Chains A and B, each alone.
Chain A
Amino acid sequence: MSSVATTPAAGEIAGLSPRKRKVIKALDVFGLIATVITVLGAIFWAFPLYWAVVTTLKVENDIVQPGIQLWPQRFTLDAYTHVLFNTKIGTWYINSLVTAASVTVGVVLISSLAGYAISQLNFPGRRILWWIILASFMIPIPALIVNHFVLISQFKLFNSWLGVILPQLVYGPVTVIIYKQFFDSVPRELREAAKLDNANEFQMFFRLYLPMNWGITTALAIITFIGAWNQFLWPFLSVTNEQMMNVTVGITQVTDAFGVKYARDLGSAILAGLPVAIVYLIFQRRVTEAIMLSAGIKG
């Protein structure tokens, strides 16, 4: 903001009264201080993650030395090789990947289909359906854990991928609303033109509405995936078998019998967070867009 106010003022500044000139100068000093504080804040925010990563690259003996080593003196990947080869993290990774990907596909598919019908089609019960979707925001998902558990047990899905996946399909009713809004804004003329070509509703959806909103599908898929990967409470409740655990649950619930090893514990955590961190770094703009949309702000 300050540059907007000050740079073009360079020419005009001569015409201003000395008092006003002083004010503009004062603004710049303020701006500098604000920038310095922001940068220091960012360093403070990023430091715990940096410190965790650096710790995993140290030899275990160096970690417990007094004093602060901001960079490993003796560099090693032992923590990672140990975690990768001596724990079940590989299996947990697969469990997380399968369940998170299935939740993503499921949520995107059912939401886009329903969003299309609510947006474009006229059918009895449409209004009731819409109100149920809006009302579902009120219900706190953690309140449903007891009855989700009862349901999953009735279907004998305890300790299975499907048991982890199914309840998570209702975690994001907002995707339906976002799809409805985007389908609403597809120009009416395109629909009329497709109708003249004798396109049925399914062709209309798969060839016109879905491809036209490919960007939003990507964005929603990414945050649904991140959300499902990060899910803790439900995967923690619905799985007790170590073989079937998700990585976020596994690394906290299964502990090494040989006492605390800082680098290994942190290494397994870094590995658990790595996929979502990478997805975020690649699709930064999409993630931001989707988060804003689910908060009700059109980006």
Chain B
Amino acid sequence: MSAADTAADVPLPARKKRFNRNEVLAALIFVLPFVVVYAVLFIYPTLQMIWLSFHKAPLIGPGTFIGFDNYLKLFKDKLFGVALWNTVYFVILTVVPATMVALAIAVGVNRLKGWMQSLILACFFIPYILPVSVVFRVWGWMFDSQFGILQPLIALVAGDNVPVFRTLPLFMPTVAFITVWWTIGFNILLFIAGLRNISPEIYEAAALDGTPRWRQFTRITWPLIWPITVLVLTIQLIAQFKIFDQVYLFGNGGRSDATMGLVQLIYRSAFQKNNGGYGATVAVVLFLVIVVFSVLQFQMLRARGNK
């Protein structure tokens, strides 16, 4: 989204009137692999997804056209409500905290110098490049209900060991916390790039004027870093709406409906219940939600940033 937006600002050179035959021929060969791959694996599945959502169909095989029945069914489906709420809840729990914590860490890391900075940054960043399965095992062990290193702490508060991932009110917040731990490196990286672009002279001038640290942050750093904040918020929002992996793994293979998100509902409808049409319907809704949210949020934040 964001990259697309910046790229869209770069205009393509004006179209020439006539095409050179050799050039067109060469161009066709250059774009052919891309066009074939995207037509077959991207445009075709997207159109087919919309088409399938109007059908009562198994995952594999022919179906019958039923118009908007799948969509009507969707809005009466309690499970869809649960999945939508869980997804929104997860987004709320992750996006803003991860952005704020990342900015704080970036400011702290940016003050450091040399190898110290590299080392500290690596500590924060390394979880981001690990596969979800590693994150699942590592935190499964931290929170293990019998021998987890965090259980003494939990017992201190709750009075006894708590199987966190099997306790519904704790499930989403814990998975959200782990997700923040896992993915924050990306946000930190973007914020550090933004902080480095702020000229040190501005701070020097502010320091000589005796501007307190906090004011320096609210008056200089925060406004100048705002475009990056918008970028980080948007990227995360879109990413977290697609939540599946962690929730599925920590939710014990998705055995409980109570922890289901939208992608998991697609998976469940299409793959476990063999209802391809209904799965596609959920997919279309997810698609629309992401498009609407990303456009809306981006416009809103940009409008505020321009003030």
Contacts and interface: CB of A to CB of B under 8 A. Distances in A.
Contacts of B118: 284
A148 B41 contact: yes
Contact of B43 (A3, A49, A132, A266): A132
A2 B5 contact: no
B8 interface: yes
B302 interface: no
Interface in A56-97: 63-64, 68
B75 interface: no
Contact of A52 (B123, B124, B141, B280): B141
A265 B149 contact: no
Task: Give the size category of A's interface with B.
Answer: 35 or more
Interface in B250-265: 263
A291 interface: yes
Contacts, number: 317
Given A48-B139, A138-B294, A143 B283 contact: yes
Given A143-B266, A232-B131, A295-B3, A2 B34 contact: no
Given A248-B133, A297-B190, A121 B26 contact: yes
Contacts of A190: none
Main secondary structure of the interface of A (DSSP, over half): helix
A166 B137 CA distance: 28
B83 interface: no
Interface stretch (B12-20, B88-96, B168-176): B12-20
Contacts of A232: 131-133, 245
A141 interface: yes
Contact of A269 (B37, B42, B134): B134
B33 A269 contact: no
Nearest to B212: A23
A117 B241 CA distance: 34
Given A226-B129, A277-B129, A52 B137 contact: yes
B127 A45 contact: yes
B124 A202 contact: no
A194 interface: no
Contact of A121 (B4, B30, B112): B30
B137 A142 contact: no
B126 A277 contact: yes
B166 interface: no
A277 B130 contact: yes
Contact of A147 (B49, B238, B244, B294): B49
B33 A126 contact: no
9 cross-chain pairs, A with B, having the tightest CB-CB distances, nearest first: A38-B108, A269-B137, A114-B34, A147-B45, A123-B27, A117-B30, A296-B3, A201-B26, A42-B123
Given A144-B283, A148-B41, A151-B45, 16 more contacts: A34-B107, A46-B123, A122-B24, A130-B12, A143-B49, A150-B60, A151-B44, A184-B10, A202-B26, A230-B130, A233-B263, A237-B271, A266-B141, A280-B126, A292-B190, A295-B235
23 contacts: A20-B208, A42-B123, A64-B146, A113-B33, A114-B35, A121-B23, A121-B27, A121-B30, A123-B28, A139-B42, A140-B242, A140-B290, A143-B263, A146-B280, A148-B45, A150-B48, A226-B129, A230-B129, A265-B140, A295-B186, A295-B190, A296-B6, A297-B193
Interface of B: 1-8, 10, 12, 15-16, 19-20, 22-24, 26-28, 30-31, 33-35, 37-38, 40-46, 48-49, 52, 59-60, 105, 107-113, 118-120, 122-124, 126-127, 129-134, 136-142, 144, 146-147, 149, 181, 186, 189-190, 193, 200, 203-204, 207-208, 210, 212-213, 228, 231, 235, 238, 241-242, 244-245, 249, 263, 266-267, 270-271, 276, 279-280, 283-284, 286-287, 290-291, 294
